[in-house]
Structure 1
Amino acid sequence: MNMRHLSTACVAALALATSACETGNTPDCGEPLYAGRSTDEAWRALVDVKQRPLDASRAVNLLSPSPGEVYPAEATPPTWEWTLPLQGSLHRPGPGMLALEPAPRPSRSLGAWLGGLLLPTAHAHLPPYTGDLYWVEISAGGECPVAQVVTSELSWQLDAATWAELGKHTGKDLTVQVMSAYLVQNRVTEGPYRLAEPRTFRRSAP
């Protein structure tokens, strides 16, 4: 085997080993739902810090679901709410730093759309996110959550599809964990903070 082939083999082996390690530490559970002004780039910033040690010092105050709450089988999708800790919100941008809101994607003309079919172009990323961000995960005890959302809001109105998914686990304990952080230009500058104990709830069987 010459040096060129040896180098290629080593690089491939290293890539496989690295991939295996990363897969073992952070399983690919798919992307969450997005709500408010959240973006996928901002979510990936949360993914990067998720493995940090638990810090509940400034975790949110989860108002609903209440501890041990049991939802009747016929219940409609609820709205869950939380508040920031009593000592105040996470750090705000300093002077001269503006929180940038994602701008709507520009519409394209018919000619541009037809041209894109022949010469596809990459979509521009949304502006970097600055502000409080919350990652809510619902778990049934498995390695991956059964439902999750990343939002900039202090509430989550569960949609019908998510509520139906939770209905597949009726009679079992489900848990809600909320991870919060403050981001500046898609970089976590405060947090992450998590509930010391995930909140447990159930859905009744029909």
Structure 2
Amino acid sequence: MNVRHLGTTCVAALALATSACGKDADTCGEPLHAGKSTDEAWRALVDVKQRPLDSSRAVNLLSPSEGEMYPAGANPPTWEWSSPLRASLQRPGPGALALEAAPRPSRSFTDWLEDLLVPTAHAHLPPYTGDLYWVEISAPGSECPVAQVLTSELSWQLDAETWAALGKHAGQDLTLQVTSAYLVQNRVTEGPYRLATPRAFRRSAQ
């Protein structure tokens, strides 16, 4: 076996060994993106999502209200929240400059291996620094969210397609969960924080 073939075999074996780790983020598909969110920032949240529940600095949902019922013909709503993470950004001081100046974290071995196996020519977006909100809508018995968005905004204006997807679960108790975190150049430095109890709502079947 020549050296080149041996190297290829080893890389393939490493790819198989790490596939479970590298593919977890894609199990339920990537969320919609809004505001300044990026796919790399989303993967940073995926990496920390399994940490123990911490609701100490979770968002305060302004809408939907608990148990809210939307009529069958209702237009797609805008859901809003406030966040201690956003409030902390309003305070002037040298801290913000220190966060912006933080060094970019090193790339993971999985990222390196992926680029080695499948070289890409696309340009990555600049590393994200700021607060992010991952909103997930779940239905009873569903392993994956029926709708989800990652946004840097304090609101989510649902589009017609997403609203129609929720309409397929009319009459069921849907729940909304928000995972929030603060990132410095795609690295989570605060959070993640989640609602202690997901917010329940419904779409009327008629």
| TM value normalised by structure 1 | 0.76
Decide whether the 8 Å contact of 2:78 with 2:156 is kept in 1.
yes
Decide whether the 8 Å contact of 2:136 with 2:145 is kept in 1.
yes
Partner of 2:129: 130
Decide whether the 8 Å contact of 1:180 with 1:193 is kept in 2.
yes
Partner of 1:94: 95
Partner of 2:192: 192
Q: Distance in 1 between matches of 2:100 and 2:176?
A: 29
Aligned in 2, Cα 1:91/1:188: closer, same or farther, shift over 3 Å? farther
Deviations 1:30-59 (A, max 9, x none): 110000111111111101101111000110
Q: Which runs of 5+ in 2 are unaligned?
A: 102-119
With 139-148 and 14-23 compared, the bigger mean Cα shift is at 14-23
Q: Distance in 2 between matches of 1:138 and 1:185?
A: 27
Q: Distance in 1 between matches of 2:64 and 2:192?
A: 21
Q: Distance in 2 between matches of 1:96 and 1:162?
A: 38
Deviations 1:161-189 (A, max 9, x none): 00000000000010000000000111100
Decide whether the 8 Å contact of 2:89 with 2:96 is kept in 1.
no
Q: Distance in 2 between matches of 1:22 and 1:122?
A: 20
Q: Distance in 2 between matches of 1:131 and 1:87?
A: 9
* Displacement of 1:26: 6.1
Partner of 1:109: none
Give the letter aligned to residue 94 of structure 1: G
* Displacement of 1:124: 1.3
State the percentage of identical aligned residues: 79
Decide whether the 8 Å contact of 1:91 with 1:190 is kept in 2.
no
Q: Distance in 2 between matches of 1:98 and 1:17?
A: 35
Runs of 4+ in 1 over 6 A off after TM superposition: 4-14, 90-93
Q: Distance in 1 between matches of 2:76 and 2:98?
A: 38
The structure whose residues are more often helix, as a share, is 2
Give the letter aligned to residue 184 of structure 2: V
Partner of 2:31: 32
Secondary structure of the 2:75 match is coil
Q: Distance in 2 between matches of 1:82 and 1:43?
A: 19
* Displacement of 1:15: 5.2
Deviations 1:127-169 (A, max 9, x none): 1111110000000131110000000000000000000000000
Describe how 1:28-67 pairs up with structure 2 within 5 A: 28-67=27-66
When the two structures are aligned, how many residues end up with a matched partner?
184
Decide whether the 8 Å contact of 1:39 with 1:126 is kept in 2.
yes
* Displacement of 1:89: 3.1
Q: What's the C-alpha RMSD, in Å, of the aligned pairs?
A: 3.1
Q: Is 1:82–2:81 an aligned residue pair? A: yes
Q: Distance in 2 between matches of 1:139 and 1:97?
A: 38
Decide whether the 8 Å contact of 1:90 with 1:181 is kept in 2.
no
Aligned in 2, Cα 1:77/1:15: closer, same or farther, shift over 3 Å? same
Deviations 1:83-113 (A, max 9, x none): 013994369882544759xxxxxxxxxxxxx
| Greater gyration radius | 1
